[in-house]
Structure 1
């Protein structure tokens, strides 16, 4: 089996060395980048399975690095940052990060988050000789788009991991797609936040808090509204969770 590869983007040598050691012990081939420029070069050359990304870098802001990483690879990205505000989390997740970990953190927590990510689906094909990823969302018997009654303008193709509104493709992150797929698979049913976390992250491990679900769903709803003005299919049920309503105008 081919070893997984990881790029650790961190200008703090102590933190970078600690993360590298952890990932090396977990079976990754690890390379370290100390600047954003170096990170982008390494990602383009090695096409890693995982990137841990500090946002405060000496040359390019980590948010821009994450945005550029997403133009060349669908690898897992965990932001590891001292920026703890909600705005920073929202921006990091919006540009394509799969998870956001605030410094200081324990190596055990990072290990759990990495393990949880690799139990989630990937949109890219597995590398030759690598184990096929376990899908958290069943793609169904075929890859035909699924139209929801009363909302024929919204289609979700589980096999191709594609969402279209009125025929226009909506660019979703892996997490946003998984959340939407789970909700539309239970139309009209209120799904608690904890259930969404277990389904999407394929683990009982809670990544930070259930607030992470709210952040991703806020991004998802904004994108769906942007593609079809006036439509809002995902409803928040205060104190409980979320519900997908196929006929919500």
Structure 2
């Protein structure tokens, strides 16, 4: 048994409502987590940096900086799963939340059983080490949180770095399509040999599409993949889950530099779902 397996699972709760904070504490403790409650965005950022939690819940309407900005800054310092909780139920709010880096978006008031199910689904997904190495973090002066507080959200879709060369990697561990290469073991995605900065959810979606190749995957299929549920069983997938997949795919396309009108990597099959483009250089989509 490794040392890391003996460490408790940690959840950071960023919530200014004391009643909701207490409810979240009870849900996470019942699921076997150690809980670190915080009341503001900046306190939550500091807690995420210090504890490197498996899961972080995040309210949107927080004192100081809002949850959307907190999510963006968390993504600079951690690969924790982010579950955004908000009374904002408009589709635009959901899309903005997922675009900020959240893995899940639940509308308040939420049912504790539903949140517990979402937590369990996230925990069924493969757990990878944070792809921001200690060297990358220490390259910037000051703490990561201090840097995040003063940094504006980055618009870059690829990490600005020299081409990544990994001669020792096992070729069999890489999946590829055109100039995309994805390594499940190291949780790495390269676009033309430059590393793409994806969230875990975006990585999982891309890995699923690469594995499926030209087979179309429906939004329901992809939602079940993210939940870690058996595709052969009949699980209900609601419209919010499907809209979440649409938002995640849109974010993934933006980060890998894919144009949905003339896609190089992922094409939309109208009324069905998504699949990889042909492996040749012929470009096009069934619906744009």
Question: What TM-score comes out, normalization by structure 2 length?
Answer: 0.73
User: Among 50, 53, 71, which residue is 2:76 paired with?
Assistant: 71
Which residue, 162, 171, 191 being the options, matches 2:188?
162
Q: What is the deviation of 1:199?
A: 2.1
Name the residue aligned to 1:192.
218
Contact 1:225–1:231, Cα closer than 8 Å, also in 2:
no
Residue 3 of structure 1 pairs with residue 8 of structure 2 = yes
Post-superposition shift, 1:91?
Answer: 2.0
Distance 1:28 1:2 in 2: 10
Partner of 2:174: 145
- Which whole-Å CA distance do the structure 1 matches of 2:256 and 2:228 have between them? 24
Contact 1:35 1:57 in 2 (8 A): yes
In structure 2, the residue matched to 1:104 is: 109
Deviates more, 1:206-215 or 1:15-24: 206-215
Equivalent residue of 2:20, what SS? helix
Instruction: Encode CA deviations 1:207-231: one digit per residue, 9 max, x unaligned.
Output: 742221111111111222269x964
- For 1:33, the equivalent position in structure 2 comes to 38
1:5-20 matched pairs, under 5 angstroms: 5-20=10-25
Cα deviation, residue 158, structure 1: 2.3
Gaps of 5+ in 1: 126-140
Which has more helix, going by share of residues? 2
- How far is 1:242 from its partner? 1.1
Report how many aligned residue pairs link the two structures: 230
Q: Does 1:233 align with 2:244?
A: no
Q: In structure 2, what is the Cα distance between the partners aligned to 1:201 and 1:143? A: 26
Unmatched 5+ residue regions in structure 2? 1-5, 131-169, 230-234, 284-288
Question: In 2, Cα distance between the equivalents of 1:243 and 1:103?
Answer: 33
How far apart are the structure 1 equivalents of 2:29 and 2:213?
A: 43
* CA distance in structure 1 between the aligned counterparts of 2:258 and 2:268, rounded to whole angstroms: 18
Question: After the TM superposition, which of the residue ranges 19-28 and 200-209 deviates more from structure 2?
Answer: 200-209
Query: How far apart in 2 are the matches of 1:121 and 1:9?
Result: 24
Change (3 A) 1:119 1:206: farther
Give the 5 Å matches for 1:204-243: 204=235, 206=237, 208-225=240-257, 231-243=263-275
Cα RMSD for the two superposed structures: 2.2
Aligned partners of 1:55 and 1:81 also within 8 Å:
yes
